[in-house]
Chain A
Amino acid sequence: MMYSVRDTIYIAYFHILRSIRTRTMLFLFIVYLLISGGTAWFGRAIIHEFEKQTADTLMVPQTETPGAMMEILRTQDNFHRMISSMVPDIELVEWALTLPVLTIFHYWISLFVLPFIVAIIGAEMIAPSIKDRSLRYELLRTGRLELVMGRFLGQSLLIGAGTLLACIAPLIVGNFFMVQQPLFETVWVLLSFVPKLFIWSLPFLAFGIALSMITQVTNLARILALASVSGSWILYAFLLYHEEQGDYPLLISVVSPFIPQYYGTALWSPSWDWILSGCILITMSIVYCMTGYPLFARRNL
């Protein structure tokens, strides 16, 4: 048991070292920064457009740098009432309106984009090593289960680091390209989102790794990973729609706990309630990672 855990940790460690050496880690970090930067810039553009229109209506000059109006608006009672009438959970609305605007964009867009990115990354975990047969040499010293779990752990840590690093982009956009953005509050809120987004990424990484184990063609694994993530969103939307309609209650009760999105909405919470959903997402990711293992364990390498 101890040797197995030690091997897993070693493989994770070597995976990180290999990622540094082959610059995969650098590429991953750049992708994360680009996505979070793009998200923050998109959020800024929406706020800017809104402020320009409002400035014209109120007959005050427009500004090149947005942010002043939004910060005032989120403290106004009638704005709270307007948002509350659109979103049913008043507590969540009240909490969300205390957060800096860019952090909300960062969180929600990451929630949609990250699954696709990490699933593609996961699809490259095992398949290339099967194809070039380099996996055989690694497996001389360790078991297949340890190899899979080690790579999953190593890649998870890299994704965690990437998620942490991604906080820099909204901070830069908020501080240098917007006005009146509270720096420390933004830092604190972004840091509080890091564990949530990290845990959210894990099941999708597991999707990718599981698919990477069943084929040696990396591109096929990538396509399957993207399809499975898209499929999970479509299935979630289908279940959500029929849940509201009151159709197929048994089917919904049985199927919905198997899709990560079912727990994803619980992560958006001001309290610590998200921890339980987070635990389920972590175990779900290990289980999903193992779905490709029976085939991989019997594969002739």
Chain B
Amino acid sequence: MKYFVLCALSFFIGSIVGGVSPKHELQKFKQKKYESIMVSDKDCQKSTIGSDLAQIMASNSSVPNTRPKPSQQNPFGDRSPQEIEKDNPEAVEIAKRIDENQERFEEDFPNSFERSQEELETARTALELRRAQARAALIEGAEPNDEQLADIDQAVQDMNDSLLTLSGELTDMMENGEEPERRQAMSFAAEALDTMLTAEDRFRDALSQDQIDALDDQALDPFSYISPDIIDTLQSLDQ
């Protein structure tokens, strides 16, 4: 047992002694990195490249400045653009590169594209959560048997298929450059509502009166069961 303990002790001491040096090296590298960042920060403070770059970009900016302008002040400070170019050619180069990148980005992506993508994704998650929670509430409140649950799931599936078809038709029409007329829009809305009413009727038919009474009304609301796939269809309208 003595040898066993000694072996354990050796392994432990070995792992620590062996680990101290690499860990210390790593610490030193981290420290060096930190110091070099601090030094470069100081260099930046000494250099006028930042302020020059800001002045050049301010003069090029197409974004309207909402702050009141203090009279006829030169955006380049006391120096002209030519003087800045002479003093700091690097700043002019960086400013040009930023402008080019910005233009390319704006060409590739419409202004609000990324934001709308995120919003759509959030909407998709919200619909998914609504659907899961409503179904859980329905199961908890009504305690349907397998057959009843299958009927309800089928009704939800049919409703979503129908809504997807409708939204697909609408999307196709918009993509072809046709604006739906007033009557057509009303017809779309009526069909969508009819689909939902049919779905709710099927929910109610699948359950007994006692089960329906035990449920929160929102658990029978077909809006709670709308599939997030509809978002994908409507997304093409946004693009």
Contact = CB atoms under 8 A, between A and B. Distances in A.
A252 B27 contact: yes
A205 interface: no
Contacts of A79: 125
B137 A4 contact: no
A249 B27 contact: yes
Nearest to A145: B1
Contacts of A256: 23
B136 A63 contact: yes
A287 B133 contact: no
Interface stretch (B10-18, B60-68, B101-109): B10-18
Interface centre among B4, B30, B130, B133 (most CB of A within 10 A): B133
A148 to B, nearest CB: 9
B5 A149 contact: yes
B24 A61 contact: no
Given A58-B129, A72-B132, A257 B20 contact: yes
Contact of A69 (B20, B31, B133): B133
Interface string B74-106: 000000000000000000000000000000000
A49 to B, nearest CB: 14
Interface stretch (A110-118, A190-198, A221-229, A277-285): A277-285
Interface stretch (B150-158, B159-167, B201-209, B216-224): B216-224
B177 to A, nearest CB: 33
Nearest to B121: A78
B136 A283 contact: no
A36 interface: no
Contacts of B133: 51, 54-55, 58, 60-61, 63, 68-69
Interface residues of A, number: 50
The dominant DSSP class at the B interface is helix
Interface residues of B, number: 42
Interface string B198-238: 00000000000000000110110000100000000000000
A61 B218 contact: yes
Interface of A: 1, 4-5, 7-8, 51, 54-55, 58-65, 67-69, 71-73, 76-79, 143, 145-146, 149, 179-180, 243, 246, 249-250, 252-254, 256-258, 279-280, 282-284, 286-287, 290
Given A69-B132, A249-B30, 19 more contacts: A4-B2, A55-B133, A58-B126, A58-B129, A59-B218, A60-B137, A61-B134, A61-B218, A62-B137, A63-B136, A68-B135, A69-B129, A72-B132, A76-B128, A77-B121, A179-B136, A252-B27, A283-B15, A286-B8
